[in-house]
């Protein structure tokens, strides 16, 4: 319960766009979860971004008080070889969706600020080029989870 | 009971039963859903360090069906996904999973110490084993199975990525290389074929 209140407060404080305008936020994030790996290993973040507006919106960076470094990556498999590509920004098309999911786009989360456990929620701030920040609670899930 | 049935039905049932019996005895060819590589790759053989910190060879896995693939613990997306998929296969195998081992071979022995691997593989499945070793030992094993890997130069923070083949190699209980799956994604096919390998007499 306390966590939900804190999350709500964090959302209110950090996303003025959500509360200042009378219109609904341009982009919504759902099914946000983090695959937690043991120790200080990089964790992966996943979500579904939905653009509710008429204009495309560009996600340019992600940050978090829980992780010192958050990068956007895309897993690519070509000729049977896996590698990751760094992603600078992701455009969510007007009235469209972009999925960050295992095997594709993902957030690489490093430098954990404090120990985390499955069941907790980490707050990540999604920064867009031309619309307000989106503060999103990511469910922490165990290493062998398949979804949120 | 057969005697009471009309003659044609009795014969038909007998024919059907005979065909089933023949199929069960291997009278028809075994169907594999993954790529059958029997005879094309070396038997499972390696000299590495297990995730318990002790030297380990393929002898330790004799009698088990082995699903082997290559990756590294600092890979946040694909390697955990592969391990999760193979864990799902193990769950679906139920009691049969005791006859199977997941073997995760590190292509990043510099960072993947036995301790690191131990916590990592166990976070996914209790029947998962991690292998690490010297760069030379890793290269020998990857070369045997035509697996490629490439270590990127580190960034300012010392982080680096290792690109690697995604294939899963499946060995029977005698350590013979039998099947390859392009990745761990095709869980139903992997489950189907692993079950058949478990049920093979020899």
The residue behind tokens 């499972």 is B44
Distance from CA of B76 to the nearest CA of A (A): 5
Q: What pLDDT does A25 receive?
A: 78
Q: Count CA atoms closer than 13 A to B128's CA, side-chain side.
A: 28
CA A98 to chain centre: 11
**Residue B36 above 80 pLDDT?**
yes
| CB–CB contact A103 B123 (8 Å) | no
Q: What is the pLDDT of residue A41?
A: 96
Coil/strand/helix, residue A66: coil
How much of chain A, in percent, has pLDDT values that exceed 70?
A: 89
**Residue B10 pLDDT class (50, 70, 90 cuts):** low
Q: How far apart are CA A36 and CA A44, in angstroms?
A: 7
- Note whether B84 contacts A82, CB cutoff 8 Å: no
Q: Which residues pair with A28 in a beta bridge?
A: A50
Which chain B residue shows the shortest CA-CA distance from A105? Answer: B77
Query: Whole-prediction pTM value?
Result: 0.85
Scanning the structure block, which residue is given the tokens 């391990």?
B83
Contacts with B77 from chain A: Cβ below 8 Å: 44, 73, 75, 84, 102-103, 106, 108
ipTM of the prediction: 0.83
Q: How far apart are CA B45 and CA B131, in angstroms?
A: 12
CB A131 within 8 A of CB A17: yes
Tokens of B169: 């190699």
Residues 6+ apart with CB under 8 A from B71: B78, B79, B82, B83, B104, B105, B106, B107, B164
| Calculated CA dihedral for residues B19, B25, B28, B29, nearest 10 degrees | 160
Question: Please, which residues have CB within 8 angstroms of residue A145's CB and are 6 or more apart in sequence?
Answer: A33, A35, A118, B84
Collapse the DSSP code of B127 into the 3-class scheme (helix H, G, I; strand E, B; otherwise coil) and give the result. Answer: coil
Q: Which two three-digit tokens encode residue B166?
A: 């995604």
Tell me, what's the pLDDT at B201? 73
A-chain residues near B183 (CB < 8 A): 77
Query: Does A84 sit within 8 Å of B166, measured CB to CB?
Result: no
- Give contacts of A 78-107 with B, CB under 8 A: 80-84, 102-103, 106
Unique residue bearing structure tokens 């005791």: B98
Residue from B104, B139, B108 nearest B125 by CA: B104
Strands of B72-124 (E only): list them: 100-106
Residue A53 has pLDDT above 60, yes or no: yes
- The model's pLDDT over B150-180, given as tens digits with 9 standing for 90+, comes to 999 999 989 999 999 999 999 999 999 999 9
Asked whether residue A20 carries a pLDDT value surpassing 50, the answer given is no
pLDDT band at B57 (very low <50, low <70, confident <90, very high): very high
Tell me the pLDDT band of B17, cut-offs 50, 70 and 90: low
Residue from B159, B180, B151, B56 nearest A73 by CA: B159
Sequence-distant (6+) residues with CB within 8 A of B126 are none
Q: What is the mean pLDDT of chain A?
A: 90
Give pLDDT, residue A14.
55
């Amino acid at each position: 319960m306390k966590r939900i209140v804190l999350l709500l407060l964090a959302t209110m404080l950090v996303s003025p766009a959500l509360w200042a305008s009378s219109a609904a936020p341009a982009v919504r994030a759902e099914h946000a979860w983090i695959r937690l790996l043991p120790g200080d290993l990089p964790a992966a973040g996943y979500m579904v971004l939905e653009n509710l507006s008429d204009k495309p919106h560009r996600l340019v960076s992600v940050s978090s008080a829980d992780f010192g470094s958050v990068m956007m990556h895309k897993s690519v498999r070509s000729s049977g070889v896996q590698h990751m590509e760094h992603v600078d920004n992701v455009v969510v098309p007007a009235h469209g969706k972009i999925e960050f999911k295992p095997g594709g786009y993902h957030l690489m989360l490093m430098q954990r600020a404090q120990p985390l456990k499955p069941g907790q929620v980490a707050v990540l701030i999604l920064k867009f080029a031309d619309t307000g920040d989106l503060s999103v609670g990511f469910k922490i899930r165990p290493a062998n989870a398949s979804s949120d | 009971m057969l005697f009471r049935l009309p003659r044609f039905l009795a014969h038909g049932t007998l024919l059907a039963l005979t065909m089933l019996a023949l199929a069960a005895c291997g009278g028809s060819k075994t169907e594999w859903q993954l790529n059958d590589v029997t005879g094309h790759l070396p038997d499972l053989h390696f000299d590495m360090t297990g995730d318990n910190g002790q030297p380990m060879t393929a002898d330790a896995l004799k009698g088990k069906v082995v699903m082997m693939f290559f990756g590294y613990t600092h890979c946040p997306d694909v390697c955990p996904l592969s391990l999760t998929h193979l864990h799902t296969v193990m769950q679906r195998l139920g009691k049969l999973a005791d006859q199977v081992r997941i073997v995760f071979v590190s292509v990043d022995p510099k960072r993947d110490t036995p301790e690191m691997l131990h916590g990592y593989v166990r976070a996914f499945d209790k029947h998962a084993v991690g292998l690490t070793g010297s760069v030379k030992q890793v290269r020998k094993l990857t070369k045997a199975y035509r697996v490629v890997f490439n270590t990127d130069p580190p960034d300012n923070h010392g982080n680096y990525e290792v690109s690697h083949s995604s294939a899963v190699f499946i060995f029977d209980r005698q350590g013979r290389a039998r099947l390859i799956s392009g990745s761990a994604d095709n869980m139903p096919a992997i489950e189907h074929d692993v079950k058949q390998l478990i049920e093979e007499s020899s």
